[in-house]
Structure 1
Amino acid sequence: MTRTPSAWVLYGSLFCGLLVLVLPLPLGLNLARPYLLAMLLCYWLLEAPDNVGLGTAFLVGLLGDIVAGTLLGEQAMRLVVLAFLVQRFRARLRFFPLWQQALAVFALLVNDRLIALAIHLAAGDGAPPWSTWLSPVLGFALWPWLFLLLDELRLRLRERTG
């Protein structure tokens, strides 16, 4: 993998996703925080599959666990499952209209919440509050804007370098 300016955008955006995990929010909003790290990973898996894969998802998930102070390996497992599903259906997802992509990302984020629920129940933590289920809805609403922002940034950098 070569270090291009788009690689800086890729890893910079994932770093920003890690920062959003620890961004202080009021309690009600904190529980409904969109899983921006997963959404960023989805974007890069769709648009730069040669640079991002299951290994990247695992490493970013471990970093997310360390940064957020969650059970070590929880986010790593959730992101690897998400990355696998995106890679499996990439050929279809990439050519969906933006609103259908948003629905697919919504389904992926709901799947992520189900995995998180299973992990917490298996660990004996009990079910999280209902407001955590708002996170996929916010992800659905944010996906088109995030996609357009990252796409514009990536394409501008490609024009400059190439």
Structure 2
Amino acid sequence: MSRARNGWVLPVSLFVALLLGLVPLPEMLQPLRPYWLALVLAYWVLEEPEKIGLGAAFVLGLIADLTFGGLIGEQAMRLTILAFILDRFRARMRFFPLSQQALAIGVLLLNDRVVSAAIHLVMGEPQHSWGYWWAPLLGMLLWAPLHFVLDALRLRRRG
């Protein structure tokens, strides 16, 4: 391939996704916040699996747990499950049109919400409101623009 790889895009994109999770939103919009970290991780697991995998997803989840102040290990487990499923079906998903990829990502984000709700139920934590379940739909709609931006940055020629 004649395109040069831009190695800085991976860590910077994950850092920006982590920061987007910290940006304050009005209380009414808070449940609609997309899970930016999962979206960016999904992109990298699909596009560069040799650079980021289950171990990286786990460590990234622990960093997110510490950053966001939630249950230690919750996001680590959620991101590891997401990365495992994506890695398992990576060969098929890469050949899906972007619209079908977005639908699959939406289902994975919905699965992530189910895992989160199950963890909160087991731990006796309060459950989230019904608005919390709309965020996977927003993540699904954001998949194509995010994919285009990260592809453009990752595959841009140096020069």
TM over 0.5: yes
CA positional deviation for 1:6: 2.5
Match of 1:93 in 2: 93
Cα offsets for 1:45-79 (capped at 9, x unmatched): 01111100001100110111111111000000000
Partner of 1:108: 108
- Which ranges of structure 2 fall in alignment gaps of 5 or more residues? none
The answer to whether structure 1 residue 83 and structure 2 residue 83 are counterparts is yes
Deviations 1:7-44 (A, max 9, x none): 31001000011101111000111111000100000000
5 Å matches for 1:132-147? 132-147=132-147
| d(CA) in 2 for partners of 1:28, 1:74 | 24
Q: What residue in structure 2 maps to residue 155 of structure 1?
A: 155
* Cα distance in 1 between the residues matched to 2:33 and 2:24: 10
- Aligned identity (percent) is 53
Contact persistence 1:21–1:67 (CA under 8 A): no
Equivalent position amino acid for 1:160 in 2: R
Task: Could you tell me which runs of 5 or more consecutive residues in structure 1 were left unpaired when the two chains were aligned.
Answer: none
1:79-123, Cα deviation, whole Å (9 max, x unpaired): 000000000000001110000000000000000000000000011
For the 8 Å contact 1:65–1:73, the answer to whether it is kept is yes
Letter in 1 for 2:92: R
Q: CA deviation at 1:5?
A: 6.1
Q: Quote the RMSD (CA, aligned, Å).
A: 1.2
State the match for 2:59 in structure 1.
Answer: 59
Aligned to 2:25: 25
2:5–2:155 contact (8 Å) kept in structure 1: no
The alignment's TM-score, normalised by the length of structure 2, stands at: 0.95
Q: Between Structure 1 and Structure 2, which shows a larger proportion of helix residues?
A: 1
Given residue 110 of structure 1, which amino acid in structure 2 is its aligned partner? L
Listed one character per residue, the Cα deviations across residues 110-155 of structure 1 (whole Å, up to 9, x for unaligned) are 0000000000001111321011111101001100000011001111
Runs of 4+ in 1 over 3 A off after TM superposition: none
Distance, in Å, in 1 between the alignment partners of 2:7 and 2:61 is: 19
1:74: which partner in 2? Answer: 74
Amino acid in structure 1 at the alignment position of 2:158: R
Aligned partner of residue 26 in structure 1, secondary structure: coil
Total equivalences in the alignment: 156
